[in-house]
Amino acid sequence: MSTRFLLALFLFSICFIISFSHALNNGFSVELIHRDSPKSPLYQATENRYQRVVNAARRSINRANHFYKNSLTNTPKSTVIPDKGEYLMTYSVGTPPFKVYGIADTGSDIIWLQCEPCKQCYKQTTPMFNPSKSSSYKKLPCSSILCQSVRDTTCNEQNSCQYSITYGDQSHSQGDLSVETLTLESTTGRPVSFPRTVIGCGTDNTVSFQGASSGIVGLGGGPSSLITQLGSSIDGKFSYCLLPLLLESNTVESTTTSKLNFGDVAVVSGDGVVSTPIVKKDPSVFYYLTLEAFSVGNKRVEFGGSSHGGEGNIIIDSGTTLTLLPNDVYTNLESAVVESVKLERVDDPSQTFGLCYSVKSDGYDFPLITAHFKDADVKLHSMSTFVPIAEGIVCLAFTSSQIGAIFGNLAQQNLLVGYDLKQKTVSFKPMDCTKV
């Protein structure tokens, strides 16, 4: 990150500090809405819980196919596909505040939304933001430090800074790079506003998702992500506790949501907390960890023996459902599971999962799988590692990948996962997320 960009963020932080309420001093939390929750505008009432599991798994595989594609060639593109994100968050832009839905994504590094007047936009079923109706909206000139610091910017005939982001499936968003007041709806009921937040106001957007979502809220490590922009105001800390939405009843889904925490309330502490270092690698948008091995019961499956071993060998991602592993690691893990599980193997009717079993009742005791990160052993209970995909069929929630490793959100269920970007650590604490 350039010195000039850091200076610009420092100057903007003065505005933030002046406007912060007491709620921000103590941190704040917002709702994370799973796309399959009845609270989500993307909710499909006609789907049963098995269809939701299978569809989420397919989305994660498609997403992963693009996660590394561009990073391997070091091209300056975002390497995720926006519609593959699994969690939405509501926020408001402008003065007066205008409410929108955005896909919350730890694998993306920019905040953008569709704006009127739109040259070419995807079909958005909710009202679109019109910047001309906001008193706090301001386009950035080409000469501004922020314009020159955000990647892939150009200058138009009006000397306004233009952003452009292209995704792994060649969908894209283009428009004005601007500053605007962004307001998050705190779970305390008191909104928290951030003046002069850098956003992309997209007027040329071709993406593969339709519906209520207005765009992307990047939570990754890049210089223009929401997390980086909030910076010192949240002390470099955020956390989330993901509900097991795909496996819970509709009653639980309809009354409870996952939480995304910022600042002091994002600190993960107490009994059972383990922490592992974040490894700095390119592209900087992703959060890289070091996974040393898995254990299935008492049987250890080494990760380091793979050609994908070494520091920073796995990405932790909230937008990918399954956990993806290099082929050799997955094969060894699957063999260890087969050795431990004494049930009849069956084929997956959806042809998505590699290892499935026939389960006659809910009482089978699947083995505990432990992820051995550097300095942190994280226990993954069967709710997070074996998923029902049809009546009487349960499958291992891991899959093989030729392109890299991703620690997905199913494995993170019922864990309080905290990111401390100052200490450069990710912490895990076992937690019943329905009670947070």
The string of pLDDT tens digits covering residues 124-154 is 888 999 999 999 999 999 999 989 888 889 9
The answer to whether the Cα torsion of 170, 175, 176, 179 is positive or negative is negative
- Known catalytic membership, residue 317: yes
Q: Which residues pair with 34 in a beta bridge?
A: 87
Q: In the predicted model, what is the mean pLDDT of residues 264-276?
A: 95
Of 83, 105, 169, 420, which is the active-site residue? 105
Query: Band of the pLDDT at 21, cuts 50, 70, 90?
Result: very low
pTM as predicted: 0.83
pLDDT of residue 350: 84
Q: In the predicted model, what is the mean pLDDT of residues 321-344?
A: 94
* Cα gap 19→391, rounded to integer Å: 53
What is the 8-class DSSP label of residue 403? Answer: S
Which of 4-8, 122-126, 170-174, 378-382 is predicted most confidently? 378-382
pLDDT at 375 over 80: yes
Task: Write b or e for each residue in 333-361: b if 16 or more Cβ atoms lie within 10 A of its Cβ, otherwise e.
Answer: bbebbeeebeeeebebebebbebbbebee
* Cα gap 193→168, rounded to integer Å: 32
Beta carbons within 8 Å of 400's beta carbon, 6+ residues apart? 324, 325, 326, 327, 330, 331, 354
Joined tokens for residue 428? 């895990």
**Range in 73-77, 105-109, 247-251 with the lowest mean pLDDT:** 73-77
* Cα gap 41→39, rounded to integer Å: 7
Beta carbons within 8 Å of 342's beta carbon, 6+ residues apart? none
pLDDT of residue 41: 58
Query: Band of the pLDDT at 55, cuts 50, 70, 90?
Result: low
- Known catalytic membership, residue 105: yes
**Range in 66-80, 102-116, 217-231 with the lowest mean pLDDT:** 66-80
pLDDT of residue 36: 61
Let me know if 81 is exposed, middle or buried by CB neighbors in 10 A (0-12, 13-18, 19+).
buried
* Cα gap 251→103, rounded to integer Å: 24
Calculate Rg over the CA atoms of the chain: 21
Name the strand (E) or helix (H) holding 202: strand 192-206
Cβ–Cβ under 8 Å, residues 377 and 294:
no
Tally of CB atoms within 10 A around 113 = 26
The C-alpha angle 244, 247, 253, rounded to 5 degrees, equals: 65
**Percentages helix, strand, coil for the chain, rounded to the nearest 5?**
20, 35, 40
Q: Which of the two residues, 383 and 107, has the higher pLDDT score?
A: 383
Q: Which of the two residues, 224 and 136, has the higher pLDDT score?
A: 136
pLDDT of residue 306: 52
pLDDT at 25 over 60: no
* Cα gap 341→297, rounded to integer Å: 10
Of 109, 169, 317, 420, which is the active-site residue? 317
pLDDT of residue 64: 53
88-123 tens-digit pLDDT: 888 999 999 999 988 888 888 889 999 999 889 888
Residue by residue, DSSP assigns 159-181 as: SBEEEEEE-TTS-EEEEEEEEEE
pLDDT of residue 150: 85
